[in-house]
Amino acid sequence: MSEPIVKYRDVHKSFGDTKVLKGINLDIHPAEKIAVIGPSGSGKTTIIRMLMTLEEPTSGDIIVDGTNLWKMEKNDKMVKANEKHLREVRGDIGMVFQHFNLFPHMTILENCMSAPIHVKKENKNEVRERAIQMLERVGLGDKLENYPSQLSGGQKQRVAMARALVMRPKIMLFDEVTSALDPELVGEVLEVIRDIAKNDDMAMVLVTHEMDFALDIADKVLFLDEGVIAEQGTASEVIEHSSNERLQSFLHRFR
């Protein structure tokens, strides 16, 4: 198998006295689709937020494309890699959140063009073309000039995906992207992710409670429980055939 693009090595994270992650080891390979499941509060979001450098680990290494995002100094303080390296790393990673985080004062086309132009300093006309393509891909080609407030939750979430795709990331992170949606809007969002998963060769990490969806698209499923990866394997091994009792009882809630 190819060299991983992301390596977590013995990553720990505490908030105050609360130990949230207790030794995470994880490789993410190019094009790999990973689903992360587990009870609320088990640390799923924290794992992916650290990859975006939105949280720092208490100890351990997170290495993206050879860059260690933090280094432990002699006084046990974690120090971020230099800003230039971090910008490159962040440019390779797209993230879609539970709440869409669109800019309300920009049209959806402008929302999708903003980061490549302002962060990556790309050519405006090329970015516009790519943004239109991506918005068409998520089924919103007829809404380019609309504002976020004019869209449904499912449509906003599809804009958020198009916006991440325009950056051409090597890795896409999805954090419970359907959890805040009305049930009837979940399907259209999962459909877009399924399309990306089946047709793009970027790596994907999805925190999700949609077990059938994970079975359908994930190469690997991680069951996170109380800050450790308690079970991992193919989707079928973890979701259908594991004998881990805590996993069984977690899954039982979705049946």
Q: Which residues bind ligand ADP (CB under 6 A)?
A: 15, 20, 38, 40-46
Q: CB of residue 183 vs ligand ADP: minimum separation in angstroms?
A: 20
Task: Give 55 or 110: the residue with its C-beta nearer to ligand ADP.
Answer: 55
Q: CB of residue 249 vs ligand ADP: minimum separation in angstroms?
A: 16
Task: Give 96 or 162: the residue with its C-beta nearer to ligand ADP.
Answer: 96
Alpha-carbon torsion, ordered 96, 102, 107, 109, to 10 deg: -20
Q: CB of residue 41 vs ligand ADP: minimum separation in angstroms?
A: 4
Provide the CB-side half-sphere exposure for 137 (13 A, CA). Answer: 22
Left if phi > 0, otherwise alpha if psi is -120 to 50, otherwise beta: which for 202? beta
Task: Give 57 or 116: the residue with its C-beta nearer to ligand ADP.
Answer: 57
Q: CB of residue 212 vs ligand ADP: minimum separation in angstroms?
A: 20
What span, in angstroms and rounded, lies between the C-alpha atoms of 196 and 204?
A: 9
Task: Give 44 or 128: the residue with its C-beta nearer to ligand ADP.
Answer: 44
Task: Give 46 or 111: the residue with its C-beta nearer to ligand ADP.
Answer: 46
Task: Give 13 or 130: the residue with its C-beta nearer to ligand ADP.
Answer: 13
Task: Give 20 or 64: the residue with its C-beta nearer to ligand ADP.
Answer: 20
Q: CB of residue 150 vs ligand ADP: minimum separation in angstroms?
A: 31
Q: CB of residue 56 vs ligand ADP: minimum separation in angstroms?
A: 11
Q: CB of residue 24 vs ligand ADP: minimum separation in angstroms?
A: 11
